[in-house]
Amino acid sequence: MGNQKILDDVFENFVNNTQIFKDREVLRHDYLPDKLPHREEQIRLLGTIVAPVLKVARCSNIFIYGNTGTGKTAVAKYVLSHLETKAKMYGVPVKFSYVNCRMTGSEYRVFASLCQSVGISVPFTGLSVDEVFDRFRAGLDAAKTIFIVVLDEIDALIKNRGDQLLYELTRINETLNKSKVSIIGISNDLRLKEFLDPRVFSSLSEEELVFRPYDASELRNILLERSKLSFYDGVLSEAALNVCSALAAAEHGDARRALDLLRVAGEVAERQGAKMILDEHVREAERHIEHNRVVEALRNLTLHSKLVLLSVYSLNKSSVTTGEIYDIYNELCGELGVGLLTQRRLSTLINELDAMGILNAKVVSMGRYGRTKKIRLEISRTLIKDVFESDNRMGRLIDYKPKSSQKYTQ
């Protein structure tokens, strides 16, 4: 086929196949639907907890937790946006601030963002965290308002930086005269409690709300509702809908995952010029998403994890031992001129790669010779090569021939 003809086909297909997506945006993660089926209970509870605000009283702090994709962010935004409307209607002085702590990144920037929502601007850097906090407190008190702050994905901040920020915030009411603060903390990690000072945890969790994973039939309803907005009538097959729900239910009942599958399946169908989304498109979508997940994970590995993986790759055998990896890792560090980690630390990295599904590490018994760990790649060599080739430092080591491998060949 001539180049011209290829492109003609691609473009024709694209133009003539507008019949899959009615509105793609509806499947984005941050789209907030009007209806949140299967979360009536959480909406009602959260509504009950924040309602006192309408009588100009501070509401309890709330700690919300549940796995990713269980609707925590959606429910919190939904309830607060309705509260905001009602508060305006009754003329209640209330201000809201929503901060995603994982994306905001540091305590400084979280406080800076809180400052902004009470109309105080702070420089992007340069002040101490304490200084920013003081400005926030002063600005807030001057605003004479009830202030509801949502700290979403708070687990990310706390695990990286500790709970100083929460400590200050949970105590702030003691020093305010004209304003009051309520905190809604949201965590994807159920064990967050273990990372918090007990006093901080108890003031944050005056109320607690748990979001359980969705089961397959709940996910099916959620997808069905959303698909009515995103796809033209009759485009989504029953089988595709069922497979999407079942796959996402198996993966911790994650609605985000289910919506991703649905969106990518739609794109696969569109690209193939299909008139309907079939179950095979969903399976293709799953492979696609999994591939992207692994590529992303590989790119984001730390230098030493990359070197460990590259060591296994360079050994190029069906399985290797920790000792063998350590020798090659040693050589690779030499090539790059970076310092070595201890063998024990390296073992930890191997376990992490195993947990991520990149390596497979199995302890096997060698009879009277004791036990040893056999390690092999869990992903394809081609994938590693593709990703590492475009990596600054790994790129020039990808074809590295181990010097010490000689002594291992049987």
Choose the contact partner of 36 out of Mg ion, ligand ADP, none; CB within 5 to 8 A by kind: ligand ADP
Min CB(251)–ligand ADP separation in Å: 13
CB-facing half-sphere around the CA of 161: CA atoms within 13 A: 18
Nearer to ligand ADP, 210 or 303 (CB): 210
String of DSSP letters for 214-266 = P-HHHHHHHHHHHHHHHB-TT-B-HHHHHHHHHHHHHTTT-HHHHHHHHHHHH
Q: Which residue matches tokens 């989504």?
A: 236
Choose the contact partner of 256 out of ligand ADP, Mg ion, none; CB within 5 to 8 A by kind: ligand ADP
Q: Which residue matches tokens 């196949």?
A: 17
Token pair for 119: 């109309």
Q: Pick the stretch among 30-38, 129-137, 159-167, 384-392 that binds ligand ADP (CB under 6 A).
A: 30-38
Token pair for 314: 């360079």
* 247, 238 contact by CB (below 8 A): no
Nearer to Mg ion, 103 or 338 (CB): 103
Q: Pick the stretch among 13-21, 62-70, 110-118, 359-367 that binds ligand ADP (CB under 6 A).
A: 62-70
Q: Which residues contact 391 (CB under 8 A, 6 or more apart)?
A: 299, 306
CB-facing half-sphere around the CA of 410: CA atoms within 13 A: 4
Q: How many residues does the chain have?
A: 410
Residues in 190-249 at the binding interface with ligand ADP, rule: CB under 6 A: 222
Give the largest Cα separation in the chain, rounded.
81
- Give yes or no for residue 58 binding ligand ADP (CB under 6 A): no
Min CB(72)–Mg ion separation in Å: 5
Rg (C-alpha) for the chain, rounded Å, is 26
Min CB(45)–Mg ion separation in Å: 18
Q: Which one among 33, 119, 334, 395 touches ligand ADP, defined by CB under 6 A? A: 33
- Give yes or no for residue 256 binding ligand ADP (CB under 6 A): yes
- Give yes or no for residue 255 binding ligand ADP (CB under 6 A): yes
Min CB(39)–ligand ADP separation in Å: 4
- Return the closest-CA partner of residue 153 out of 204, 104, 184, 188: 188
* 163, 196 contact by CB (below 8 A): yes
- Give yes or no for residue 68 binding ligand ADP (CB under 6 A): yes
Choose the contact partner of 185 out of Mg ion, ligand ADP, none; CB within 5 to 8 A by kind: none
Min CB(77)–Mg ion separation in Å: 9
Token pair for 278: 């079939």
Q: Which one among 29, 44, 159, 293 touches ligand ADP, defined by CB under 6 A? A: 29
Q: Pick the stretch among 67-75, 89-97, 238-246, 292-300 that binds ligand ADP (CB under 6 A).
A: 67-75
Helix (H, G, I), strand (E, B) or coil at 283: helix
Q: Which one among 94, 158, 192, 259 touches ligand ADP, defined by CB under 6 A? A: 259
Residue number of the CB atom closest to ligand ADP: 71
Token pair for 284: 């293709």
Q: Pick the stretch among 63-71, 100-108, 230-238, 384-392 that binds ligand ADP (CB under 6 A).
A: 63-71
Applying CB under 6 A, the site for ligand ADP has a residue count of 19
Nearer to Mg ion, 70 or 227 (CB): 70
String of DSSP letters for 74-135 = HHHHHHHHHHHHHHHHHT--EEEEEEEHHHH-SHHHHHHHHHHHTT----SSSS-HHHHHHH
Which spans of this chain sit near ligand ADP (rule: CB under 6 A)? 29, 31, 33, 36-39, 66, 68-74, 222, 255-256, 259
